[in-house]
């Protein structure tokens, strides 16, 4: 014989289990609505003000990249040692700056189709890469001597990459912009 199930008891009739949470589990719909409300966060003016503050900080940083103001520069460009490395690279002309027009000239023969001209252009490109690498090595040794003379005891980690990445860029593309002219004598103190 089948027994009939009795009607479900309401939450008021259910006795709490020992070790239970003492309340009924919420439905999935209620939990998702609560999670969405929590994810949205409070609707206040803080969001707008932080957006304005970010815009102001970005404007200050762009201006600092133009003028070289150390207070608002990104962290990778801050400090007197980094400023000296920038000025050291900017005060010299590197072969990498002159290489771009030469690269364009060397790629033109590849469209013409003459194999001997293409072979000569490839050899010129290979020589250019070797000269750029030697130029960077020479520049790094000179920079190392200047850093030990001007900034004794300062950490120089990462400065080789910083110097190379700046030296390989065209002068008008560099950020922060160059603050010294080519051939200009650098000051003795960068504090």
End-to-end Cα separation, the chain, in angstroms: 96
Q: What angle do CA 82, 84, 86 make, to 5 degrees?
A: 70
pLDDT greater at residue 106 or residue 2:
106
Query: 89 and 60 in one domain?
Result: no
Q: Report the predicted TM-score, pTM, of the whole model to 2 decimal places.
A: 0.67
Query: 142 and 72 in one domain?
Result: no
Query: 55 and 128 in one domain?
Result: no
- pLDDT band at 98, cuts 50/70/90? confident
Residue for token digits 């400023």? 83
Please report whether residue 143 resides in a domain: yes
pLDDT at residue 29 above 80?
Answer: yes
Span 124-179, pLDDT tens digits: 889 999 999 999 999 999 999 999 999 998 888 899 999 999 999 888 888 899 88
Give the pLDDT of residue 170. Answer: 87
Query: 87 and 167 in one domain?
Result: yes
Please report whether residue 149 resides in a domain: yes
The predicted model gives 102-120 an average pLDDT of 80
Please report whether residue 95 resides in a domain: yes
- The lowest-confidence range among 7-11, 15-19, 26-30 is 7-11
Please report whether residue 188 resides in a domain: no
Give the pLDDT of residue 121. Answer: 85
How far is 34 from 38, CA to CA, in rounded Å? 6
Query: 122 and 154 in one domain?
Result: yes
Query: 104 and 141 in one domain?
Result: yes
The predicted model gives 88-94 an average pLDDT of 91
Query: 131 and 115 in one domain?
Result: yes
Average pLDDT, the chain: 84
How large a percentage of the chain has pLDDT more than 90?
Answer: 30
pLDDT at residue 11 above 60?
Answer: no
Please report whether residue 58 resides in a domain: yes
pLDDT greater at residue 49 or residue 58:
58
Residue whose C-alpha is closest to residue 78's, from 88, 90, 69, 89: 69
pLDDT at residue 9 above 80?
Answer: no
Query: 93 and 71 in one domain?
Result: no
Please report whether residue 66 resides in a domain: yes
Query: 147 and 60 in one domain?
Result: no
Chain centroid to Cα 38, Å, comes to 32
Query: 113 and 66 in one domain?
Result: no
Please report whether residue 135 resides in a domain: yes
Q: Which two tokens stand for residue 111?
A: 């469209």
Q: List Cα–Cα distances, 142 to 52, 85, 91, 155, 176, in angstroms.
A: 44, 11, 13, 17, 22
Q: Which domain holds residue 88?
A: 81-179
How far is 69 from 78, CA to CA, in rounded Å? 9
Query: 175 and 88 in one domain?
Result: yes
Q: Which two tokens stand for residue 124?
A: 């010129």
Residue for token digits 């400065």? 159
Give the pLDDT of residue 16. Answer: 65
Span 67-79, pLDDT tens digits: 888 888 888 898 8
Please report whether residue 191 resides in a domain: no
Domain count, the chain: 2
Query: 62 and 73 in one domain?
Result: yes
The predicted model gives 25-51 an average pLDDT of 79
């Amino acid at each position: 014989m089948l027994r009939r199930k009795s009607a479900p008891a309401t939450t008021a009739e259910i006795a709490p289990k020992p070790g239970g949470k003492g309340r009924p589990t919420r439905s999935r719909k209620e939990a998702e609505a609560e999670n969405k409300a929590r994810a949205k966060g409070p609707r206040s003016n803080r969001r707008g003000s932080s957006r304005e503050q970010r815009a102001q900080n970005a404007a200050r940083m762009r201006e600092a990249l133009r003028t070289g103001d150390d207070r608002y520069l990104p962290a990778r460009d801050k400090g007197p040692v980094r400023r000296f490395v920038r000025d050291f690279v900017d005060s010299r002309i590197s072969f990498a700056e002159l290489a771009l027009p030469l690269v364009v000239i060397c790629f033109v023969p590849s469209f013409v189709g003459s194999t001997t001209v293409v072979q000569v252009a490839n050899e010129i490109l290979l020589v250019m890469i070797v000269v750029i690498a030697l130029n960077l090595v020479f520049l790094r040794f000179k920079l190392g001597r200047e850093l030990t003379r001007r900034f004794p005891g300062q950490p120089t980690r990462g400065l080789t990459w910083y110097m190379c990445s700046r030296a390989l860029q065209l002068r008008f593309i560099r950020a922060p912009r160059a603050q010294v002219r080519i051939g200009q004598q650098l000051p003795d103190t960068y504090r």
